[in-house]
Amino acid sequence: MHNEELGFNSQAVHAGKFDDALGSAISPIYQTSTFSFDNADHGAKCFSGEVKGYIYTRIGNPTINELEQAVAKLENGFGGIAVSSGMAAVNTVYLAYLGQGKHVVAHNALYGPSRAILESLYVRFGVESTFVDATNTENVAKAIRPNTSLIYLETPANPTMGITDIKEVAVLAQKHGITVCVDNTFCSPYLQKPLDLGADIVLHSMTKFINGHADIVAGMLVTKTKEHYDKLRPVMVGMGCNMDPHQAWLTRRGLKTLGIRIDRAQENAIKVANFLENHRKVEWVLYPGLASHPQFELAKKQMKGPGAMISFGLHGGLDAGKRMMDNVQLALLAVSLGGIETLIQHPASMTHSKLSAEAKRLGGITDGLVRLSVGIEDVEDIIADLDQALTKV
Ligand code: LCS
């Protein structure tokens, strides 16, 4: 069967596999820093690009390349650039598209450090940033300036679950010649394909759903075109934020089960979200699968499913939330997300603690917000655990 015709799960299992002389079912790990040349001329030709060949692992490696090809295939992109972490992916994009006198428009609720580095680090190099509620495209339109070079979105956003209309923003950006990057970490390509909706770059913390086993920190960029790929790849190579082959091999292994893991976690999350919404101690729940979500209709249109991330608040705010988090037994009180295990955390004091009080207020990251990443355990056990923790509140 021609590879182009395969479905998502078949691609997740097979895409990018390279031929190995022994016919191994799983590709070997090329755990090497460097590759020898046949002779001096061959080496020179590899460097000039006249001959295709591996040179040095920071520049390229077969194990890393397999993962890049697989994720690019699942995102319907031109090519993938694997990096050492999600934040390495964020920095690669910022360095490639921002600089002295350039301006970025970003959603006002992003993973904390994705916003914080613009305000603390990139500002030192003359980068201007404007944060808006991008769930309303009008706000993005109003923020665009002549020097805007990048629109940076996260949808659903961490941790407010706000959903941006990728297609609308992409049409707007195209009119102005602005590059659009979408952090697709909360969905993975299984639930959302930003490049098909008009984005130029997709970004992943593969630490989350793509690897899915809480044993790797990793990142990926996928571009729609060769032009964007050629702009980003040298930044990664120059910064030296490449993956390690073993890290790539483990991530490729995790990717094989992405679809079935999300199916299961999402099925659990729908039940957990309903349980929370109907619990008398819960004041509000934000989950794209609930009709109460402000962008419920957009979520249905743009995402294949509502995913496994839920934010909620209790009557009694922060104190009540802390008491609940201190009393979970099955769920882990831990940051990160998208793994096989259920995790609970408090963004205002943990993942988003580096943001100013004003940034948190404008982004909707309230003290009472508790974030849940629903895992693949038996849903009865997850709900029983949350229920017993809520009785202590
Ligand atoms: N983008 C999003 C949406 C994220 O949630 C994270 C990490 C990153 C990028 C950065 O990826 P990393 O470098 O960690 O691989 N989010 C985390 C979170 O919510 N809790 O702990 C990490």
154 lines ligand 1 (CB under 6 A): yes
Residue 2 has a pLDDT of 61
Residue 12 CA to residue 339 CA, distance in Å, equals: 17
66 lines ligand 1 (CB under 6 A): no
Residue nearest to atom 4 of ligand 1 (CA): 111
Over pLDDT 70: what percentage of the chain?
Answer: 99
Tell me: pLDDT of 300 over 90: yes
Average confidence (pLDDT) over 297-317:
97
Which of 256-265, 350-359, 379-388 is the least confident region?
350-359
Query: Which of 255, 281, 298 delimits the end of a domain?
Result: 255
Residue 18 has a pLDDT of 86
HSE-up of residue 148 (Cα within 13 Å, Cβ side): 25
Mutation pick for ligand 1 pocket among 186, 205, 341, 352 (CB with most ligand atoms within 8 Å) = 205
179 lines ligand 1 (CB under 6 A): no
117 lines ligand 1 (CB under 6 A): no
Q: How far is the CA of 158 from the centre of ligand 1 (A)?
A: 9
Residue 203 belongs to a domain: yes
Beta strands in 206-316 (DSSP E): 219-223, 282-286, 309-314
Q: How far is the CA of 172 from the centre of ligand 1 (A)?
A: 27
Of 107, 103, 146, which is closest to residue 126 (Cα–Cα)?
A: 103
Average confidence (pLDDT) over 337-352:
95
Residue 4 has a pLDDT of 72
Cis, bond preceding 156 (omega within 30 deg of 0): yes
Query: Both 119 and 185 in a single domain?
Result: yes
Query: Which of 255, 270, 286 delimits the end of a domain?
Result: 255
Residue 21 has a pLDDT of 84
Of 136, 152, 168, 188, which is closest to residue 305 (Cα–Cα)?
A: 188
- Nearest atom within ligand 1 for CA of residue 206: 15
Query: Both 298 and 199 in a single domain?
Result: no
Mutation pick for ligand 1 pocket among 93, 114, 158 (CB with most ligand atoms within 8 Å) = 158
Residue 129 has a pLDDT of 98
For residue 243, give its domain range. 7-255
Residue 337 CA to residue 156 CA, distance in Å, equals: 13
Residue 5 has a pLDDT of 84
Question: Looking up tokens 């630490």, which residue turns up?
Answer: 207
For the stretch 60-74, pLDDT in tens is 999 999 999 999 999
CA 173 to chain centre: 21
Burial class (CB in 10 A: 0-12, 13-18, 19+), 366: middle
Residue nearest to atom 18 of ligand 1 (CA): 336
Tell me: pLDDT of 176 over 90: yes
Query: Both 81 and 178 in a single domain?
Result: yes
Beta strands in 298-345 (DSSP E): 309-314, 332-333, 343-345
351 lines ligand 1 (CB under 6 A): yes
Residue 1 has a pLDDT of 58
Average pLDDT over the chain reads: 96
Both tokens of residue 39? 């002779």
What are the residue numbers of the active site?
A: 58, 111, 183, 208
Tell me: pLDDT of 202 over 70: yes
155 lines ligand 1 (CB under 6 A): no
Query: Both 363 and 279 in a single domain?
Result: yes
Average confidence (pLDDT) over 29-46:
97
How many domains are contained in the chain? Answer: 2
- CATH code of the domain containing 274: 3.90.1150.10
75 lines ligand 1 (CB under 6 A): no
Query: Both 368 and 324 in a single domain?
Result: yes
76 lines ligand 1 (CB under 6 A): no
Both tokens of residue 44? 């020179």
Tell me: pLDDT of 135 over 90: yes
Tell me: pLDDT of 148 over 80: yes
80-to-68, 120, 232 alpha-carbon distances in Å: 4, 28, 10
pLDDT grade, residue 19 (50/70/90)? confident
Give the pTM: 0.97
For the stretch 209-230, pLDDT in tens is 999 999 999 999 999 999 999 9
189 vs 362: which has the higher pLDDT: 189
- DSSP output for 168-213: HHHHHHHHHT-EEEEE-TTTHHHH--TTTTT-SEEEEETTTTTT-S
Residue 1 belongs to a domain: no
Of 199, 227, 203, which is closest to residue 111 (Cα–Cα)?
A: 203
Query: Which of 255, 285, 320 delimits the end of a domain?
Result: 255
Residue nearest to atom 14 of ligand 1 (CA): 86
Query: Both 145 and 286 in a single domain?
Result: no
86 lines ligand 1 (CB under 6 A): yes
Average confidence (pLDDT) over 193-203:
98
Question: Looking up tokens 């090519």, which residue turns up?
Answer: 79
Query: Both 90 and 136 in a single domain?
Result: yes
Tell me: pLDDT of 110 over 80: yes
Query: Both 99 and 224 in a single domain?
Result: yes
Q: How far is the CA of 155 from the centre of ligand 1 (A)?
A: 13
Average confidence (pLDDT) over 298-313:
98
- Nearest atom within ligand 1 for CA of residue 208: 15
Residue nearest to atom 5 of ligand 1 (CA): 111
